[in-house]
Chain A
């Protein structure tokens, strides 16, 4: 993987996961579908990116996990936002705002 887009993408992915979990606790597939939904289908997160990100974020303490039952009574691992995750989401949102503003200005400049 090339390095520069990765960092941007990784940051974005974290932000999107945190954002999607605001709606409530959900399992991996749920997170993936939720991201697809809120970005209007722009981002499709593959399990190969999703799971490493979920585990890393759990180790960071932003989200926590527990085993629960899915709608069809299947055992599934659920994730929920922690307080630290909430703070991280706010910080990331602010940072993203600054970045998109800056990039937008840069692109608009003659």
Chain B
């Protein structure tokens, strides 16, 4: 069995190499003795015999080496000896090695971590059948910023007339049931779905069954629950099918449990039915449904868009400017975080480049010290290829050590990130196989990249000159190669710092620009009712009783949460012709009389609402300044009549808008987000909602005298004393709510900011290393200069000047690159231009300071060189 023998030899050569070597040594020596004996027998004197034998043998070591080269697995040995040598080299310079490994670990670790997140969130396909053909369907009116969903009649038109889709489903998320009869009343998150939804995804029930088509026409009765709800709220009850839940006061029988679909609506407790027969579902203008469809194979996105646009425009009263758009479902789910993640990936890639430049520079500097060693090896016959292999091996060892450490960092930080992340699809974030491959790939790439610099330096080495002199020349430090490395490193760091600076400025703007309200000392809680008729009695009493609590200076109800979200309404004017095809949509909010006092908004003109603005009083409205200026520029809108019609799922009585008299103008309040521009908005008194829909749930705002949280317990008791089954979902200070609303912005600032900090630190290390090395190389020269009369200050200036020249070039290039690049992050900026002058002025200054600090220590050392010592040096 020759193969078996070969394997055995290979293993022996690998693992018992010592015995193999001893064996070989003995064999060659015994051969020498045998030869000597033979010669003696031939008549030579012992001495002569030994000499002749040695000549015939031709050197014990050489013979042994020749045998070694023939051995199976010899290549492995030479790689291993390269590795041994490499490790020895690294251990000889522990300081260098530690800095290099740490630098690479940070670069590779950060990249792997960010890649893991990007891969899990943006790249990984959705775990559904033919997921690449799943598209979200939405419409957009030309000239309007917001996109719209679809109304039920539109959805039915699409389904009847379109031939592009295998499946099309509508859905509506973000509404609730109140679940009673199981201890304290709880809120249950609903996602409404139509019949095709789960078959479209290729998802079948985990237990039981889905709704039958005819069951969709009757609200309630049966209910399909999510895996999460089943597990967490029903204790994974194996006999759950047939169990009756009391939801919104009606008994509903569980008929099915869906498997986990964490990518879609992870918060869902109940997969509810979308009942197409409700009156408000029949209104063509009520476009609040989200549509998803699976294209037939071979149908392109453009074809489907065109077809649906044609169908939509055929609808009664539809504008010819409206068009339908499709976007891949996966992109749609991650739409809000896409640019944020992309900028983070770009930032972290820059960090890796900077890390590479830094390590390459360190290697280059170190290679100067190794020139003599290399020269000796070359003159002893080491070929270029052999040297190259050696360098690459050494650097791959370095990169591997860095990469392994980095991987540990990555796993840790991804875990940490996962815990604080609010990203969509974050349930599936982990360092998986593709991330491991990515880490391996960048590790090898890094190893090769950093090997390039010293190798190109050596390949031009003048052997003879090197052998003749022992003096180390500071060729590389002043040399163009290392200059280039440092300049590019600094310019990359500048780009990152500028990006971080812009994000920081945006964040500051978002936090400090006057939002038009005061969130301090405000406690807010959302109270869902879902029984709007009961709400009409409950809420007025609640707000009345709350305002009488000790320590409360104002209490109010609002359908909106300033700085977080707001409902919308369409607007019709009485003083001008209205274009029915292009109805303005504005922010709109049902409020109680003390709302503006509770949130600290300012009246500009007219009056706030009072308790008398109730159902029996004339219909009134308060508009914000932005609305007043957009529609009545230069005029006083007080006394004007406008028709307001709320947009949304519950708009349920009439298609005709109700006209209201403008009674007040309020200073602009940032309704939808601190980092979003102010939009035209209006406020209507909640008691004048004749549809009752507003009473399905309200935010209760409590302005307190003391700390906002101190009243939480009292309010909770009050709520339950008025209505025992009332669920209280969140009770938080308004500051907390705003803090949370800015979380995505804070996260991207934190990420890009820390990467920029890292980049700055790395380039500072680079500058320091360069100047320190240059100074150590030029000690002799400085001594000479000082001996010839140069002052300490002159030397100081000389060194600082050299460092500064490089930094200045780097900053200059970096600023140029930033000017070209920052416009790609426009979508992440708020109230700051991509070429914000302040940022672009401060960053170079920062770099100048850091460079000064990094240069100063070595420069000082140069200035304190003792001329006598320096001249004797070497």
B35 at the A interface (CB under 8 A): yes
Which listed segment binds B: A15-23, A50-58, A98-106?
A50-58
Which of B6, B30, B71 lies at the interface centre, i.e. has the most chain A CB atoms within 10 A of its CB?
B30
Which of B34, B63, B71 lies at the interface centre, i.e. has the most chain A CB atoms within 10 A of its CB?
B34
A59 nearest in chain B by CB position: B9
Once A55-B70, A60-B2, A61-B5 are accepted as A-B contacts, the answer to whether A74 and B37 lie under 8 Å apart by CB is yes
B35 and A48 contact, CB distance less than 8 A: no
B332 at the A interface (CB under 8 A): no
Other-chain contact of A55, B6, B30, B33, B71 (Cβ < 8 Å): B71
A48 and B5 contact, CB distance less than 8 A: no
A51 and B34 contact, CB distance less than 8 A: no
A9 at the B interface (CB under 8 A): no
Other-chain contact of A29, B24, B26, B35 (Cβ < 8 Å): B35
Once A47-B56, A48-B66, A51-B66 are accepted as A-B contacts, the answer to whether A76 and B34 lie under 8 Å apart by CB is yes
Q: B69 contacts which chain A residues (CB < 8 A)? A: 52
In the complex, A46→B31 CA distance in Å?
Answer: 12
Which of B26, B57, B70 lies at the interface centre, i.e. has the most chain A CB atoms within 10 A of its CB?
B70
Which of A59, A74, A76 lies at the interface centre, i.e. has the most chain B CB atoms within 10 A of its CB?
A59
B433 at the A interface (CB under 8 A): no
A7 at the B interface (CB under 8 A): no
Once A48-B63, A59-B71 are accepted as A-B contacts, the answer to whether A29 and B6 lie under 8 Å apart by CB is no
A74 and B2 contact, CB distance less than 8 A: no
Q: Which of B14-72 contact A (CB under 8 A)?
A: 23-24, 26-28, 30-31, 33-35, 37-38, 56-58, 62-63, 66-67, 69-72
In the complex, A22→B69 CA distance in Å?
Answer: 27
- The number of residues on chain A lying at the interface, defined by a beta carbon within 8 Å of a beta carbon of chain B, is 23
A53 nearest in chain B by CB position: B70
B5 and A74 contact, CB distance less than 8 A: no
In the complex, A24→B69 CA distance in Å?
Answer: 28
Q: A51 contacts which chain B residues (CB < 8 A)? A: 27-28, 31, 63, 66-67
Q: B58 contacts which chain A residues (CB < 8 A)? A: 46-48
- The number of residues on chain B lying at the interface, defined by a beta carbon within 8 Å of a beta carbon of chain A, is 28
B34 and A29 contact, CB distance less than 8 A: yes
Other-chain contact of B5, A47, A52, A60 (Cβ < 8 Å): A60
Once A51-B63, A55-B71, A59-B72 are accepted as A-B contacts, the answer to whether A74 and B31 lie under 8 Å apart by CB is no
Taking the closest CB of chain A, its distance from the CB of B21, in whole angstroms, is: 12
In the complex, A70→B67 CA distance in Å?
Answer: 23
B56 and A27 contact, CB distance less than 8 A: no
Chain A interface SS verdict (over half): helix
A46 and B56 contact, CB distance less than 8 A: yes
Other-chain contact of A28, B1, B23, B27 (Cβ < 8 Å): B27
Q: A49 contacts which chain B residues (CB < 8 A)? A: 66
Once A29-B31, A59-B9, A77-B27 are accepted as A-B contacts, the answer to whether A52 and B37 lie under 8 Å apart by CB is no
Q: A47 contacts which chain B residues (CB < 8 A)? A: 28, 31, 56-58, 63
Once A52-B69, A55-B70 are accepted as A-B contacts, the answer to whether A74 and B34 lie under 8 Å apart by CB is yes
In the complex, A60→B72 CA distance in Å?
Answer: 10
B70 and A28 contact, CB distance less than 8 A: no
Taking the closest CB of chain A, its distance from the CB of B34, in whole angstroms, is: 5
Which of B24, B67, B72 lies at the interface centre, i.e. has the most chain A CB atoms within 10 A of its CB?
B67
A52 and B27 contact, CB distance less than 8 A: no
In the complex, A52→B72 CA distance in Å?
Answer: 11
In the complex, A56→B13 CA distance in Å?
Answer: 12
Taking the closest CB of chain A, its distance from the CB of B17, in whole angstroms, is: 13
A75 at the B interface (CB under 8 A): yes
Q: B33 contacts which chain A residues (CB < 8 A)? A: 74
A33 nearest in chain B by CB position: B38
A84 at the B interface (CB under 8 A): yes
Other-chain contact of A70, B28, B34, B57 (Cβ < 8 Å): B34
Residue interface bits A52-94, CB-to-B below 8 A is 1, else 0 = 1101101111000000001010111100000010000000000
Taking the closest CB of chain B, its distance from the CB of A63, in whole angstroms, is: 11
Q: B35 contacts which chain A residues (CB < 8 A)? A: 29
Q: A52 contacts which chain B residues (CB < 8 A)? A: 66-67, 69-70
In the complex, A72→B37 CA distance in Å?
Answer: 9
Taking the closest CB of chain A, its distance from the CB of B9, in whole angstroms, is: 4
Q: A46 contacts which chain B residues (CB < 8 A)? A: 56, 58
Taking the closest CB of chain A, its distance from the CB of B203, in whole angstroms, is: 59
Which of B5, B27, B38 lies at the interface centre, i.e. has the most chain A CB atoms within 10 A of its CB?
B27
In the complex, A26→B37 CA distance in Å?
Answer: 16
Which of A46, A47, A75 lies at the interface centre, i.e. has the most chain B CB atoms within 10 A of its CB?
A47
In the complex, A72→B38 CA distance in Å?
Answer: 11
A75 and B30 contact, CB distance less than 8 A: yes
In the complex, A58→B23 CA distance in Å?
Answer: 14
Taking the closest CB of chain A, its distance from the CB of B71, in whole angstroms, is: 7
Taking the closest CB of chain B, its distance from the CB of A22, in whole angstroms, is: 20
Taking the closest CB of chain A, its distance from the CB of B826, in whole angstroms, is: 64
In the complex, A74→B70 CA distance in Å?
Answer: 27
Which of A51, A56, A75 lies at the interface centre, i.e. has the most chain B CB atoms within 10 A of its CB?
A51
Q: Which of B708-758 contact A (CB under 8 A)?
A: none
Taking the closest CB of chain B, its distance from the CB of A51, in whole angstroms, is: 5
Which of B5, B6, B35 lies at the interface centre, i.e. has the most chain A CB atoms within 10 A of its CB?
B5
Q: A58 contacts which chain B residues (CB < 8 A)? A: 9
Q: A60 contacts which chain B residues (CB < 8 A)? A: 2, 5-6
B56 and A59 contact, CB distance less than 8 A: no
Other-chain contact of A48, B2, B6, B34, B62 (Cβ < 8 Å): B62
Other-chain contact of A76, B30, B56, B70 (Cβ < 8 Å): B30
B73 nearest in chain A by CB position: A59
Residue interface bits A7-42, CB-to-B below 8 A is 1, else 0 = 000000000000000000001110000000000000
Other-chain contact of B67, A27, A55, A76, A77 (Cβ < 8 Å): A55
Taking the closest CB of chain A, its distance from the CB of B504, in whole angstroms, is: 66
Taking the closest CB of chain A, its distance from the CB of B72, in whole angstroms, is: 5
Q: A72 contacts which chain B residues (CB < 8 A)? A: 37
In the complex, A59→B66 CA distance in Å?
Answer: 15
B72 and A29 contact, CB distance less than 8 A: no
Taking the closest CB of chain A, its distance from the CB of B727, in whole angstroms, is: 79
Q: B27 contacts which chain A residues (CB < 8 A)? A: 28, 51, 76-77
A84 and B2 contact, CB distance less than 8 A: yes
In the complex, A44→B24 CA distance in Å?
Answer: 22
Residue interface bits B403-417, CB-to-A below 8 A is 1, else 0 = 000000000000000
In the complex, A55→B24 CA distance in Å?
Answer: 9
Taking the closest CB of chain A, its distance from the CB of B260, in whole angstroms, is: 57
In the complex, A72→B26 CA distance in Å?
Answer: 17
In the complex, A55→B6 CA distance in Å?
Answer: 12
Q: B37 contacts which chain A residues (CB < 8 A)? A: 72, 74
Q: B31 contacts which chain A residues (CB < 8 A)? A: 27-29, 47, 51, 76
Q: B6 contacts which chain A residues (CB < 8 A)? A: 59-61
Q: A53 contacts which chain B residues (CB < 8 A)? A: 70
B34 nearest in chain A by CB position: A29
Q: B63 contacts which chain A residues (CB < 8 A)? A: 47-48, 51
Taking the closest CB of chain A, its distance from the CB of B124, in whole angstroms, is: 48
In the complex, A27→B473 CA distance in Å?
Answer: 57
B30 and A77 contact, CB distance less than 8 A: yes
Q: A59 contacts which chain B residues (CB < 8 A)? A: 5-6, 9, 71-72
In the complex, A75→B31 CA distance in Å?
Answer: 10
Q: B5 contacts which chain A residues (CB < 8 A)? A: 59-61
In the complex, A23→B624 CA distance in Å?
Answer: 113
In the complex, A75→B28 CA distance in Å?
Answer: 11
Taking the closest CB of chain A, its distance from the CB of B19, in whole angstroms, is: 13
Taking the closest CB of chain B, its distance from the CB of A104, in whole angstroms, is: 32
Q: List 13 A-B contacts (CB under 8 A).
A: A28-B27, A29-B38, A47-B63, A48-B63, A49-B66, A52-B67, A52-B70, A58-B9, A60-B5, A74-B30, A74-B33, A74-B34, A77-B23
Q: A46-B58, A47-B63 are in contact. List 14 more A-B contacts (CB 8 A).
A: A27-B34, A28-B34, A29-B35, A47-B28, A51-B28, A51-B31, A51-B66, A52-B66, A55-B70, A55-B71, A56-B70, A59-B71, A70-B34, A74-B37
The 8 closest A-B pairs by CB, nearest first: A61-B5, A52-B70, A59-B9, A61-B2, A77-B27, A56-B70, A29-B34, A52-B66
